[in-house]
């Protein structure tokens, strides 16, 4: 069972006494926002499109774009995106004042992914470029991973 020890300067250290290597993993609870910001990359185009969508909403609306992974689609998993408000277990990626919400279950699938918005002849919409996807479907919104996240 992991043991967490708190240290004012270093944040929290997590030790796994049962592991053969007896490694200590350090993370700083004060930098949670920057940790999640590196989790998913958001392009300027995606930020501009979200700004445009939210400009049609009520002023000072706490909404952002929810990006999540759900079971279904041709390859087993697919992306869902909706305008929504922050929920308790969400990771929040903020860029230029725009908020992108990722629920806790989707975080392992989206770590390192890039969210983009494309407006071209072949299609218009938000797109996810996901390095965790081992196989994608021709539809572009369905994917499969090599290992369960």
Domain CATH code at residue 132:
2.60.300.12
Domain that holds residue 81: 38-145
Cα 60 to its chain centre, rounded Å, is: 23
Is the domain of 42 the same as that of 99? yes
Q: What is the pLDDT of residues 8-19, one digit of tens each?
A: 443 433 343 443
Cα 95 to its chain centre, rounded Å, is: 13
3 state DSSP class of 37: helix
Is the domain of 10 the same as that of 66? no
Q: What is the pLDDT of residues 31-55, one digit of tens each?
A: 444 444 457 899 999 999 999 999 8
Is the domain of 130 the same as that of 99? yes
Q: What domain count does the chain have?
A: 2
Is the domain of 11 the same as that of 47? no
């Amino acid at each position: 069972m992991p043991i967490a020890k708190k240290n004012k300067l270093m944040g929290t250290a997590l030790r796994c006494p049962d592991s053969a290597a007896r490694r200590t993993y350090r993370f700083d609870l004060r930098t949670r926002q920057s940790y999640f910001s590196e989790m998913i990359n958001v392009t300027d185009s995606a930020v501009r499109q979200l700004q445009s969508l939210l400009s049609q909403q009520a002023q000072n609306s706490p909404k952002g774009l929810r990006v999540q992974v759900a079971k279904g689609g041709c390859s087993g998993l697919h992306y869902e995106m909706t305008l929504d408000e922050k929920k308790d277990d969400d990771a929040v990626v903020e860029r230029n004042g725009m908020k992108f919400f990722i629920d806790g279950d989707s975080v392992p699938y989206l770590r390192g992914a890039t969210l983009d918005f494309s407006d071209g002849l072949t299609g218009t919409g938000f797109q996810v470029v996901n390095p965790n996807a081992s196989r994608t479907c021709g539809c572009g919104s369905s994917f499969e991973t090599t290992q369960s996240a």
